[in-house]
Amino acid sequence: MSFSYLDNNAGAGLADGVLDVMLPYLQQQQGNPSSGHRFGRYARAALDKARQQVAKLVNAEPSQVIFTSGGTEANNQVIAGVAERYDSGKVLVSAIEHPAMLEPARRLQKQGFELEMIPVNEQGLVEPATLAELIDADTRLVSVMWANNETGVIQDIAALAAVCHDKGVPLVTDAVQAAGKLPIDMKATGVDMLTLSAHKFGGPKGIGALIVSKQLDWPAFVLGGGQEDDKRSGTENVASIVGFGHAAEHVLTHLPEYQAHCRRLRDQFEQHLKQLPGITIFAEQVERLPNTTFFALQGFDSDTMLMSLDKQGFAVSSGSACGTGRQTPSHVLTAMGIPDPIALGAVRVSVSQQNTVEEIEQLGKVLEKEANRFTHLLNR
Ligand code: PLP
């Protein structure tokens, strides 16, 4: 049986050439970038190049890039920085953030800070006027993700950054799902901090970055030998950073083809879905990532559907990988006001450049069979 991997928002494979550029740093180039000898200098040069490549992906300066162990750590550094910088105050976090932002924010709350959730509208968007009303003199930080991992909904980050700047509060955006799928411009949008994860767009797992605007001196999270300009200690994961840099350059070069291919598959898939009885496509009315469809079919819970599709050769997800196996509805859908019985059936299909029209056709047919089976049962 052939198998279709349609869970690219959870983890995409390595992009062309990434493994090749990493291998020398796992084999003969064993130098530590902090060493003064030539092996150290080779490793340092490799880090410098990757830093430029990653900075270019988001239109930032290389000196703004802090390499971390992934998106989760980068988000933790942002939130923990609030407690490091201030004795008290409030953070505003959108209700649809990934747990990698929500959980550190909840810990901050336990440490005595105020945590307020920014609501979203029924399409999953944070409205600038709503945000403006919530910011007050105690607000230390606002966090709104660039694109949501479950629905794919893209926020108007420039408008939200403008609201924050108007009030003199920094905005962090988790761009883990947006990078490699959309043009990201830190300078043009005025975002103050941005987090990335390599494995969502063709780099290896376990590497990411926090990118901080020059005006902001954000505190370190991991302390030690002072690497990454004292902002993230620990010997750098050279091979993975090199792979991250290469993946960043690769996606930037291929973004138009990627978007066109994924959008074609996504639109074709949604045309199929729309023929099915009892279908809901979440956030269909607003701009979404070109590769993501989040939907529910009446009569199916997510886990049953996932298992059935897995048996039939399709790897899809119920939303965030961390949330798989849950019996509670997605907090993202709940925040959008989706009733529990529908939200509990949510299934995410996220495609990549590697997926084909045929795979999507096949999945459409399988879902049609499932939907008809349910309607048949209902009508008996
Ligand atoms: N933020 C978002 C939006 C994500 O989708 C993910 C991963 O699913 C993360 C953060 C965590 O990134 P990492 O896996 O690099 O820790």
- Ligand 1 centroid from CA 303, angstroms: 21
4-5 and 314-315 as β-strands: parallel, antiparallel, unpaired?
A: parallel
CA 340 vs. chain centroid, Å, equals 24
Report yes or no: 165 and 191 within 8 Å, Cβ to Cβ. no
Q: Could you give the CA distance from residue 202 to residue 169 in angstroms, rounded to a whole number?
A: 33
Give residue ranges with CB within 6 A of ligand 1: 70-72, 98, 100, 145, 149, 174, 176-177, 197, 208, 320-321
Which value, in Å, is the radius of gyration of the alpha carbons in the chain?
21
d(CA 244, CA 240): 6
The residues carrying an active-site annotation are: 322
Task: Give the Cα separation of 336 and 96 in Å (integer).
Answer: 9
Whether 67 and 49 have beta carbons less than 8 Å apart is answered as no
Question: From the alpha carbon of 322, which atom of ligand 1 is closest?
Answer: 8
Best CA proximity match to 11, nearest among 320, 313, 267, 329: 320
Residue with tokens 């799902």: 177
Calpha distance 212→80 (Å, rounded): 14
Are the CB atoms for 281 and 294 separated by under 8 Å?
yes
Cβ–Cβ under 8 Å, residues 206 and 173? no
Domains and CATH numbers, the chain: 4-12+256-378 (3.90.1150.10), 18-250 (3.40.640.10)
Q: Cβ of 20: how many Cβ atoms within 10 Å?
A: 11
Question: What residue owns the CA closest to ligand 1's atom 12?
Answer: 71
Mutate to test the pocket of ligand 1, among 154, 197, 201 (most ligand atoms within 8 A of CB): 197
Distance between CA atoms of 198 and 221, rounded to whole angstroms?
20
pLDDT tens, per residue, the chain with 380 residues: 789 999 999 999 999 999 999 999 999 888 999 999 999 999 999 999 999 999 999 999 999 999 999 999 999 999 999 999 999 999 999 999 999 999 999 999 999 999 999 999 999 999 999 999 999 999 999 999 999 999 999 999 999 999 999 999 999 999 999 999 999 999 999 999 999 999 999 999 999 999 999 999 999 999 999 999 999 999 999 999 999 999 999 999 999 999 999 999 999 999 999 999 999 999 999 999 999 999 999 888 999 999 999 999 999 998 655 455 557 999 999 999 999 999 999 999 999 999 999 999 999 999 999 888 766 666 65
